Structure 1
Amino acid sequence: MKIFFLGISGTFMGNLAQIAQKKGFEVFGVDQKFYPPMSDELLNAGIKFQEGYEEKNFIDADLYVIGNSISRGNPLLEVIIDKNKTIISAPDWLYQYVLKEKKVISVSGTHGKTTVTSMIAHAFKKDGKNNFGHLIAGVPEEIHSWSLGDDDYFVIESDEYDTAYFDKEPKFFHYRPNILIINNIEFDHADIYSSVDEIESKFIRLLEQMEEGSKAYVNIGAVRKLFKDKVQELETNCEIEFFNAQGETISETNANLASKVLVNFFDKDITKKLLESFKGVKRRFQLLFESEKIILINDFAHHPTAIQGTIELARKEFVDAKIIPIIEFGSNTMRNGQHDISLKTILKNIKSYTINSSEKQQQLFKPFSSVFSENKFDEIINSNEKKIVVLMCGNRDFNGLQIQFLNKLKSLKSK
């Protein structure tokens, strides 16, 4: 069977393509552009792909998996539709060809999905007694981002973002979890949702649809009381447990969340030992550079709560250092100003920089923040502070400035 992935270079789609090949399908794909590490992974897997959504890159296949970044008007999508080909969303393909045969452990919430999913998958891998599958939308330090596994369970992070141009519901409806974690629910994805109430309604419906014998764990320390009250009134077949996972740091909170799942399989002492060996996920408080004066950390934080948590973690880890956040306005919600007031509250007493902020946002943050660019490198490097921790927080590529700043720091250190 031939499968064509339209929008194959993203983490989710690229990993699915590799899973499809592992299951014995013949896989092809197209995206507008390809960059490492996914381009390297696809090449190493022997998957054929082309750049550009032009008609010339159409390949006849039995099934077309359409990524959620693809919209009507995409030239190649229109060719596929005109030829009356069979299309399917990526989450639906994953369920039909992988998850239908598994018991699904699903990690959901606004923040922490990648790290908590990675912790759970790492624990199973480290224990070595269970060969469970997993799919992670990130790059863990010690395990691969995906594994089919051959045991009953499959661990996956479950996104509330939409599924495809023809399915605007959250991805997580397709996964049909047997064990579900709801970590936190805050307003995000302003291009999809109008309010936090609308987002919460999707989680409510997910709980309503869970099957008899399933379990759901809700972190009441990170959801609204209104949501908890609604959940308590639900008529559902699943067993729901409320617990407070909040620790002193993000790392402790994530470990508490992962433990809720893992104690279904290991005793508490073994669970603790397995999690202590977890080395993290790239772009999650990832140390990129360290010298006597400057530390550079890369973090995926792109929501005020996550940004605040990253700043607090840095303060705890580096007590005597000056913390300088560089905030990338990468998500739709950040760019359209939905989080401006929250960010102002977090940053108002901190010297900080922004990337991709609008003129209006620059004026709002002007008393304590300026736009980050190449000419700001020396301003940070030549500061009179004895120790500086630069936190680069964002979910995109910082317009290439992170790489340029890192290269400059390395060149100065080598002199």
Structure 2
Amino acid sequence: MDIKTIKSVHFIAIGGSVMHNMALALHEKGIKVSGSDDEIYEPAAGKLKNGGINAQVGWKPESINDSIDLVVLGMHAKEDNPELLKAKELGLPIYSFPEFIREWSENKQRIVVGGSHGKSTITSMIMHVLKHAGREFDYLVGAEVEGFPLTVSLSDAPVIVLEGDEYLASKLEPVAKFLKYEHHIGLISGIAWDHKNVFTTFNEYTKQFDLFADQTPKAGSLVFNEEDDLTNIVGSKEREDVRQVPYKTHEAVIKEGKTFLKTKDFGEIPVNVFGKHNLQNIAGALALLKLIGIEEKVFYDAIQSFKGAKNRLELLAENNGNIVFKDYAHSPSKVGATVDALKEQYANANLTIAYELHTFSSLNREFIKEYKGTLDKADQAFVYLNPKNLKLNDAAAFSEADIQKAFGNENIKFFEDVESLVAQVEASKTGDKNTFAFLSSGKFNQINLKELAEKLVS
């Protein structure tokens, strides 16, 4: 079918981050959109309602009928989902969202940014620079980006920039999402084991990136971080008629808590992001953008105003030598990179890290050993785990000794109630300069981080 002729789409599991943004993007194009989910949380619920989409809470197979041209199936929906079974019974076309995006972008140049860490930030940087340069493009990114009302754009632009997730596309398509896009230009930022619930071994996980790299077509390009050992092995592998574009950490200098990029032709360029991982992200974005005709001067002019993707080392409050961040660090490589970046940027400040164990992998007793050493540079390190999350994932409880052993740090303090965690964070403030960071893909049991941050810097 010609996917661009559809008039009606139903989203099963519409509450997902990409799913609800994609639904809104199609709704704005005049396509009739419906959807459902077992739960729809904010901000998705409010955005769908304000956008004019009546999303149902609960599965209602009676809402699936022949007037629907196509069904988009989210990863959250199970194989026995009643709406999915009804769609199959009626013979309706069923797509995962990456499969839909691939069909929609059939005649576009597809740029896919993959990696265990940094992919949202690199994708956001590319989007920011292209917008600054006045280029027309579509996009899909896993985080909110300043200047872009949705995280998905679907138009007639000649280029689409996609954040390529290695997680599975759907229960019907147990294939890494980034393998569905069939990129022309691909980027791999780094490889570090994640998603143990799906990729039970390190080798199985890394194989996905090898498949991604192998998928680069003749006359295509593969951009990769040569400083990451495994990524360098994958990226450097000989592939017929594929342009290999390695990159490494952009040179920079820190002056009075501010990072400046060092350039040959344009002097020192001030930027709002910091840390080795972000200097690598900048280098990756630059290397890729040069492939599609963005000149270095345009890049450096634009990158100065880039403030980062939402929840990625996001500044919450700053005052009187005290500063507070939150970060979507939810895997060992991300936690380690964030802690290192904060300690380097604010070398003379007391660093307090509060980390929430939230993902399925992080609650696995074998996988949690991957966190060893990641919190060592913090002056105070606190680990929080919501007991409700243990029950949801049918995981065994941890003791403080378990956490200390896994992280390889006997000074870590472990909490299962958020009030005690907050009290300890507040008590850790000392001297004139303090840096605080809250790291999680969860919500620390709904504590108001913005309110707490203002208190910490007061």
Instruction: Tell me, yes or no, if structure 1 residue 239 matches structure 2 residue 268.
Output: no
CA distance in 2, matches of 1:230, 1:189: 19
Return the match for 2:108 from 80, 88, 102.
102
Q: How does 1:336-375 map to 2 (within 5 A)?
A: 336-348=364-376, 350=378, 351-356=380-385, 359-360=397-398, 362-366=400-404, 367=410, 368-371=412-415, 373-375=418-420
State the secondary structure of the residue aligned to 2:39: coil
2:349 maps to a residue whose letter is A
| Structure 2 stretches lacking a partner, 5+ long | 1-6, 252-274, 387-395, 405-409
Q: Assess, with a 3 A threshold, how the Cα gap between structure 1 residues 338 and 393 changes in structure 2: closer, same or farther.
A: farther
TM-fit CA distance, 1:297:
1.2
1:378: Cα distance to partner?
Answer: 2.8
Once the two structures are TM-superposed, the CA of residue 232 in structure 1 deviates from its matched residue by 4.3
What residue is the counterpart of 1:136 in the other structure?
141
Change in Cα spacing, 1:384 to 1:199, as seen in structure 2 (3 Å) is closer
Q: Tell me how far 1:250 sits from its aligned partner.
A: 2.3
The amino acid that maps onto 2:430 is: E
Cα 1:231/1:306, change in 2 over 3 Å:
closer
Name which of 25, 32, 39 aligns with 1:26. 32
Counterparts in 2 of 1:10 and 1:384: CA distance versus 1, 3 Å: closer
Distance of aligned partners of 1:374 and 1:411 in 2 relative to their CA distance in 1, 3 Å threshold: same
Match of 2:262 in 1: none
- 2:166 is matched by which residue type in structure 1? E
Give identity over the alignment, percent.
24
1:73-88 aligned within 5 A: 73-88=80-95
Q: Report the counterpart of residue 330 of structure 2 in structure 1.
A: 302
Q: Provide the TM-score with structure 2 as the length reference.
A: 0.82
Q: What amino acid maps onto 2:246 in structure 1?
A: F
Secondary structure at 2:75's aligned position in 1?
A: coil
Query: CA 1:230–1:377 in structure 2 vs 1: closer, same or farther (change >3 Å)?
Result: closer
Equivalent position SS for 1:346:
coil
Is residue 2:417 matched to residue 1:379?
A: no
| Conserved? CA contact 1:117–1:156, under 8 Å | yes
Change (3 A) 1:246 1:334: farther
- 203 and 336 in structure 1: CA distance in 2 versus 1, 3 angstrom threshold: same
Q: Is residue 207–residue 236 contact of structure 1 (8 Å, CA) maintained in 2? A: no
CA contact (8 A) 2:335 2:375 kept: no
Secondary structure of 1:138's counterpart equals coil
1:14 counterpart SS class: helix
1:119 and 1:349 mapped to 2: Cα distance? 28
Are residue 259 (structure 1) and residue 286 (structure 2) matched? yes
User: Distance between the aligned counterparts of 1:148 and 1:320, measured in 2?
Assistant: 46
Q: CA deviation at 1:50?
A: 1.0
Which one has a larger percent helix, Structure 1 or Structure 2? 1
The residue type paired with residue 93 of structure 1 is F
| Inter-CA distance 24–338: structure 2 relative to 1 (3 Å threshold) | farther
3-state SS of 1:376 partner: helix
For residues 100 and 197 of structure 1, do their structure 2 counterparts lie closer, same or farther at Cα, with a shift above 3 Å needed?
same
Q: What is the aligned length?
A: 408
Q: 1:356 to 1:53 in 2, by over 3 A?
A: farther
User: Cα deviation per residue 1:20-73 (whole Å; 9 max; x = unaligned)?
Assistant: 223432111111222332223222322221111244554652211100111123
User: For 1:28-43, what aligned pairs fall within 5 Å after superposition?
Assistant: 28-43=34-49
**2:15 aligned partner, one-letter code:** S
Alignment pair present for 1:90 and 2:97: yes
Tell me, yes or no, if the aligned pair for 2:22 and 2:153 is still in contact at 8 Å. no
Which position in structure 1 is the counterpart of 2:15? Answer: 9
- In the TM superposition, residue 86 of structure 1 has moved relative to its aligned partner by 2.8
Tell me, in whole angstroms, the C-alpha distance in 2 between the residues paired with 1:208 and 1:408: 47
- Shift of the 381–82 alpha-carbon distance from structure 1 to 2, 3 Å rule, reads same
Output the aligned Cα RMSD: 2.5
Q: Is the aligned partner of 1:162 residue 2:189?
A: no
Which letter does structure 2 place at the counterpart of 1:307? Answer: V
Q: Which residue of 1 aligns with 2:390?
A: none
Amino acid corresponding to residue 174 of structure 2 in structure 1: K
User: 1:220 is matched with which residue?
Assistant: 226
Letter in 1 for 2:145: P
Question: 285, 296, 300: which is aligned to 2:313?
Answer: 285
1:192 aligns to 2:198 (yes or no): yes
Equivalent residue for 2:177? 171
Instruction: For residue 311 of structure 1, report the CA deviation from its aligned partner.
Output: 1.1
* Distance of 2:318 and 2:218 partners within structure 1: 51
Output the amino acid matched with 1:317: Q
What TM-score comes out, normalization by structure 1 length?
0.90
- Post-superposition shift, 1:194? 2.5
* C-alpha displacement of 1:196: 2.9
Contact 1:289 1:295 in 2 (8 A): yes
> Could you say which residue in structure 2 is the equivalent of 1:208?
214
| Equivalences for residues 43-62 of structure 1 within 5 A | 43-55=49-61, 58=64, 61-62=68-69
Q: Secondary structure at the match of 1:365?
A: helix
Q: Give me the whole-angstrom Cα distance separating, in 1, the residues matched to 2:237 and 2:119.
A: 26
CA distance in 1 between counterparts of 2:210 and 2:337 reads: 26
Structure 1 SS opposite 2:374: helix
Using the TM superposition, give the Cα deviation of residue 112 of structure 1 relative to its aligned residue in structure 2, in angstroms: 0.6
The answer to whether the aligner puts 1:317 opposite 2:321 as a matched pair is no
Cα contact 2:382–2:413 (8 A) shared by 1 = yes
Distance 1:395 1:107, change over 3 A: same
Query: Deviation at 1:388?
Result: 2.9
Encode CA deviations 1:264-317: one digit per residue, 9 max, x unaligned.
212222222221221111101111133447533110111112111111221233
Conserved? CA contact 1:285–1:297, under 8 Å: yes
Distance 1:47 1:147, change over 3 A: same
